[in-house]
Amino acid sequence: MDNKDNTSVKEVEKVKEKKKKTSERCYHCNKKLKMIHFTCRCNHKFCIVHQNPHSHNCEFNNKKICQEAIKMNNPQTIHQKVVKIQ
Ligand SMILES: [Zn+2]
Ligand SMILES: [Zn+2]
């Protein structure tokens, strides 16, 4: 058993080692990623739980992109208050 009063240096070394050995981590929950991880369109890596853009408040907002796409496709309809869909 180690003497608990002499932990400081050893602990620091341990932390350094840990930091050095950075395996991939989930960008959202910081959980270590093992074999399976996902890279989102926002270019961050996520665990299984947070792979879904909704689960990590994805910067790469799907809705925004949809809106942009709509704007690009129908620049004129934006100015109309009501767009009737038949
Ligand atoms: Zn996660
Ligand atoms: Zn994302």
Helix (H, G, I), strand (E, B) or coil at 25: strand
User: Which ligand has the shortest distance to the CA of 46?
Assistant: 1
* Contact yes or no for 83/77 (Cβ under 8 A): yes
3-state SS class at 40: coil
- Nearest ligand to the C-alpha of residue 62? 2
pLDDT of residue 30: 94
Ligand 2 centre and the CA of 25: distance in Å? 14
Q: Using one digit for the tens of pLDDT, what is the confidence trace for 21-76?
A: 567 899 999 999 888 888 999 999 999 999 999 899 898 765 565 666 667 777 66
**In 3D, which of 25, 53, 28 has the Cα closest to residue 37?**
25
Look up residue 80 and give its DSSP letter.
Answer: S
Domains of the chain as residue ranges with CATH = 24-62 (4.10.1110.10)
Q: How far is the CA of 48 from the centre of ligand 1 (A)?
A: 7
